[in-house]
């Protein structure tokens, strides 16, 4: 079954019970699940990890959402925006009658406030990275930075200019206009991210720094309990005015439970949902009791070996290509019990710019050996292969790669390091030669992969997301042209050509596109996996016992 059919099949039961039906056949109840770690913040401006993203959806809402087929659909906007001919201006009409959990009606001004707020240093938002293309974002951000620096020094008499973000304006109570500096066909996707979700100014100002623990949004649920490191409870938001009432009365999230413990609790019926650990996947998939409950989803993510093009021996493209030929991707999939599918390129399936006909590097150890010989390494070489502690199956992948590389003479010594140290070291120039790396989409567009991972013009001494420190002028040129292209077909072609060049230079040895496996208790209905949000709790309900 292909992926679209698979998702359609999974979505069918949920669709049958969606808008307007009132979920009459099911009982409301409490859904219980567990997480390994607590949430750092429930302020949408500060959200960046996948699990927090899922919680954001039940507390807040955005202008646009993404459906099961990865198509943009209106959410708090009444309809899709009017777009100007030059693709620089987007006009939204806000849905009427939407209320925050505190009872106040949502207006266009709330979006303006939310977006301007992320440029305030005090908000500590990571969203500025995504919204730099808003008209006037740069001077506005700099002005807020100056305000923050001068705060308390006595030098500041009034706020620095510009005091408003030029590119985001409320034309009236229900109309919002967003303007860009340069056209960007991926821009609307950024509006699905939490950074632009409206927040009520009065609640932010009332709670100050602890607004992150007192969320107040337009979503179907509201937070009514948060015992740090222990549990979170979400009850229904009585002010919610969505197309369908949520099917659950309450969601309870237990904190501090590792995956093995979660699996045992799930099998004993103490949890309703489970993120299946790979070591248990085969057992649970073959168990007749559980196999109908297993759902899988191909993630929009690419896992790869990153080779630092500024460090020996990876300065020579023949060495990098040899690594790509030496690794057997099929074996990685087998060895990790189906952790994903073999990757042919950097842009994963389902993401704009993915080339379904691409044939990547096959497994050819003989050719890898010859290329190493040509590059002056007839006996191979020794190198450290870094990988972080936080992704359990990466250790297994590295072991398979290590065995494959050994066959062609490359002696990779595995070095497992803490996540924070790994992130710091691999992003610093000329520090780590060889590392296991992965990139998950922030939004489903090739720019998020190729532009982030392979744009040589963005190489920095530290905090560089181009972990291979790969710099090819032709690739940079293609990526820059694609970023501002306004024709979809031409844009896709530019990304395809850029990816061709990147794979030929092989700064990365692409390995797999990972899969996510989750399961639910038989009483949980409406459970499908969404390519961007994974679980949408607002669509779930519980069957009567």
Residues that bind other proteins (CB under 8 A): 34, 37-38, 40-41, 48-49, 121-122, 124-130, 141, 145, 148, 209-210, 212-213, 227-230, 254-258, 260-261, 264-265, 267-268, 270, 418-421, 423-425, 442, 463, 465
User: Shortest Cβ distance from residue 246 to other proteins (Å)?
Assistant: 25
Cβ proximity to other proteins, 109 vs 267, nearer residue: 267
Cβ proximity to other proteins, 379 vs 463, nearer residue: 463
Alpha carbons 465 and 458: distance in angstroms, whole number: 8
DSSP state of 192: T
Q: Write out the two tokens for 144.
A: 């807020």
User: Shortest Cβ distance from residue 440 to other proteins (Å)?
Assistant: 11
Cβ proximity to other proteins, 92 vs 394, nearer residue: 394
Alpha carbons 536 and 545: distance in angstroms, whole number: 23
Query: Which residues, 6+ apart, have CB-to-CB distance to 503 below 8 Å?
Result: 345, 346, 358, 360, 361, 510
Cβ proximity to other proteins, 258 vs 504, nearer residue: 258
DSSP state of 80: P
Cβ proximity to other proteins, 244 vs 255, nearer residue: 255
User: Shortest Cβ distance from residue 53 to other proteins (Å)?
Assistant: 12
Cβ proximity to other proteins, 122 vs 159, nearer residue: 122
User: Shortest Cβ distance from residue 437 to other proteins (Å)?
Assistant: 12
Alpha carbons 394 and 374: distance in angstroms, whole number: 31
Task: Give how far Cα 501 sits from Cα of 168, 266, 474, 496, 508, Å.
Answer: 38, 47, 8, 9, 12
Cβ proximity to other proteins, 21 vs 159, nearer residue: 159
User: From the centroid of its chain, how far is CA 305?
Assistant: 20
Report the 10 Å Cβ neighbour count for 461: 9
Mind giving me the DSSP string for 237-269? -TT---SS--B-SEEEEEES--HHHHHHHHHTT
User: Shortest Cβ distance from residue 376 to other proteins (Å)?
Assistant: 33
User: Shortest Cβ distance from residue 268 to other proteins (Å)?
Assistant: 6
Alpha carbons 62 and 46: distance in angstroms, whole number: 15
User: Shortest Cβ distance from residue 270 to other proteins (Å)?
Assistant: 6
Cβ proximity to other proteins, 467 vs 540, nearer residue: 467
User: Shortest Cβ distance from residue 498 to other proteins (Å)?
Assistant: 22
Rg, C-alpha atoms of the chain: 24
Residues pairing with 485 in the sheet: none
Alpha carbons 300 and 298: distance in angstroms, whole number: 7
Cβ proximity to other proteins, 73 vs 126, nearer residue: 126
Cβ proximity to other proteins, 384 vs 474, nearer residue: 384
User: Shortest Cβ distance from residue 38 to other proteins (Å)?
Assistant: 7
User: Shortest Cβ distance from residue 300 to other proteins (Å)?
Assistant: 16
The HSE-up count of residue 176 (CA atoms within 13 Å, CB side) is 29
Cβ proximity to other proteins, 229 vs 243, nearer residue: 229
User: Shortest Cβ distance from residue 197 to other proteins (Å)?
Assistant: 16
Alpha carbons 335 and 18: distance in angstroms, whole number: 40
Task: Give how far Cα 522 sits from Cα of 57, 266, 291, Å.
Answer: 24, 11, 11
Q: Which residue has the tokens 């429930």?
A: 42
Please check whether residue 425 is in contact with residue 438, taking contact to mean a CB–CB distance below 8 angstroms.
no
Q: Which residue has the tokens 């009236």?
A: 172
User: From the centroid of its chain, how far is CA 226?
Assistant: 25
Task: Give how far Cα 356 sits from Cα of 21, 247, 504, Å.
Answer: 39, 38, 17
């Amino acid at each position: 079954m292909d992926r679209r059919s698979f998702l359609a099949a999974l979505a069918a039961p949920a669709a049958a019970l969606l808008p307007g039906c009132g979920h009459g056949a099911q009982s409301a109840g409490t859904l219980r699940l567990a997480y390994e770690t607590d949430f750092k913040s429930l302020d949408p401006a500060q959200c960046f990890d996948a699990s927090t993203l899922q919680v954001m959806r039940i507390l807040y809402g955005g202008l646009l959402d993404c459906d099961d087929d990865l198509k943009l659909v209106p959410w708090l906007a009444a309809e899709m925006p009017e777009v100007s001919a030059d693709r620089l201006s987007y006009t939204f009409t806000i849905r009427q009658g939407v209320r925050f959990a505190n009872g106040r009606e949502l207006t266009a001004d709330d979006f303006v406030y939310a977006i301007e707020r992320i440029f305030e240093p005090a908000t500590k938002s990571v969203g500025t990275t995504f919204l730099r293309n808003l008209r006037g974002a740069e001077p506005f951000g700099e002005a807020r930075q100056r305000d923050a620096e001068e705060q308390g020094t006595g030098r500041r008499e009034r706020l620095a200019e510009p005091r408003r973000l030029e590119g985001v304006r409320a034309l009236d109570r229900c109309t919002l206009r967003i303007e860009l500096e340069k056209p960007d066909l991926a821009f609307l996707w950024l509006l699905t991210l939490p950074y632009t979700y409206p927040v009520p100014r009065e609640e932010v100002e009332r709670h100050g720094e602890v607004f992150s623990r007192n969320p107040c949004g337009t979503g179907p649920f509201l937070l009514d309990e948060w015992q740090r490191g222990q549990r979170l409870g979400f009850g229904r938001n009585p002010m919610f005015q969505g197309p369908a009432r949520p099917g659950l009365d309450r969601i309870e999230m237990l904190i501090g439970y590792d995956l093995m413990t979660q699996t045992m609790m799930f099998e004993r019926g103490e949890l309703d949902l489970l993120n299946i650990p790979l070591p248990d996947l085969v057992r649970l998939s073959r168990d007749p009791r559980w196999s109908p409950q297993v759902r899988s989803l191909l993630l929009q993510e690419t896992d790869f070996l990153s080779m630092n093009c500024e460090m020996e021996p990876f300065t020579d493209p023949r060495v990098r290509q040899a690594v790509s030929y030496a690794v057997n991707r099929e074996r990685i999939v087998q060895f990790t019990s189906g952790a994903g599918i073999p990757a042919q390129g950097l842009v994963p399936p389902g993401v704009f710019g993915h080339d379904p006909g691409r044939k990547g590097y096959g497994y050819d150890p003989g050719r890898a050996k010859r290329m190493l010989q040509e590059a002056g390494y007839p006996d191979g070489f020794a190198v450290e292969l870094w990988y972080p502690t936080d992704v359990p199956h990466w250790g297994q992948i590295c072991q398979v790669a290590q065995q494959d590389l050994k066959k062609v003479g490359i002696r990779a010594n595995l070095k497992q390091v803490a996540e924070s140290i790994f992130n710091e070291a691999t992003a610093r120039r000329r520090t780590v030669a060889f590392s296991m790396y992965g990139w998950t989409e922030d939004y489903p567009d090739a720019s998020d992969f190729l532009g982030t991972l392979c744009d040589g013009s963005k190489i920095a001494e530290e905090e560089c997301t181009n972990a291979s420190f790969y710099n090819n002028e032709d690739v940079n040129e293609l990526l820059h042209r694609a970023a501002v292209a306004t024709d979809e077909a031409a844009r896709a072609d530019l990304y395809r050509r850029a990816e061709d060049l990147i794979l030929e230079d092989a700064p990365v040895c692409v390995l797999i596109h990972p899969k996510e496996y989750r399961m639910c208790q038989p009483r949980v209905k409406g459970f499908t996996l969404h390519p961007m949000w994974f679980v949408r709790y607002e669509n779930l309900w519980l069957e009567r016992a």
